[in-house]
Amino acid sequence: KAGVTQTPRYLIKTRGQQVTLSCSPISGHRSVSWYQQTPGQGLQFLFEYFSETQRNKGNFPGRFSGRQFSNSRSEMNVSTLELGDSALYLCASSPEGRGGQETQYFGPGTRLLVL
């Protein structure tokens, strides 16, 4: 099976712009979670989607949003970018069974640099 894929792998934006990141989960996985990883803060949970519905949300401002499509692919969007949004954005998918978000498999990440 192909793993979790994320596009693009690298992105440079300027302050005030918006960005959309894409994630394709492992085939058959219906849960997709997004994380922000910075050197000082570790892995910070953004949100989780399951069957096109947001099931969990972390403590990020409303500038961070996401959605999931019927094929389980997910996108996250960050509007009005700030310098502090520079980070590695990771997507993880989980298989069904065992109550949902149990075993997460990560993609390679999208490294975003905001100038």
Partner 1 sequence: GQQLNQSPQSMFIQEGEDVSMNCTSSSIFNTWLWYKQDPGEGPVLLIALYKAGELTSNGRLTAQFGITRKDSFLNISASIPSDVGIYFCAGFSNTGGFKTIFGAGTRLFVKA
Tokens of 61: 């401002």
- 68, containing H or E segment: strand 64-68
> Among 20, 56, 65, 79, which residue interacts with partner 1 (rule: CB under 8 A)?
56
CB 99 to partner 1: min, Å: 5
Bridge-based pairing state of the strands 10-13 and 110-114: parallel
Residue 80, sorted as left (phi over 0), alpha (psi -120 to 50) or beta, turns out to be left
Kindly tell me which of 55 and 67 has the beta carbon lying closer to partner 1.
Answer: 55
d(CA 107, CA 25): 8
Kindly tell me which of 60 and 106 has the beta carbon lying closer to partner 1.
Answer: 106
| Side-chain half-sphere exposure of 77, counting CA atoms within 13 A | 10
> Among 19, 81, 107, 112, which residue interacts with partner 1 (rule: CB under 8 A)?
107
Q: If binding is defined by CB under 8 A, does position 102 make contact with partner 1?
A: yes
Q: If binding is defined by CB under 8 A, does position 25 make contact with partner 1?
A: no
- Please report, as ranges, the residues that interact with partner 1 according to CB under 8 A: 4, 6, 33, 35, 42-43, 45, 48, 55-56, 88, 90, 92, 98-109, 111
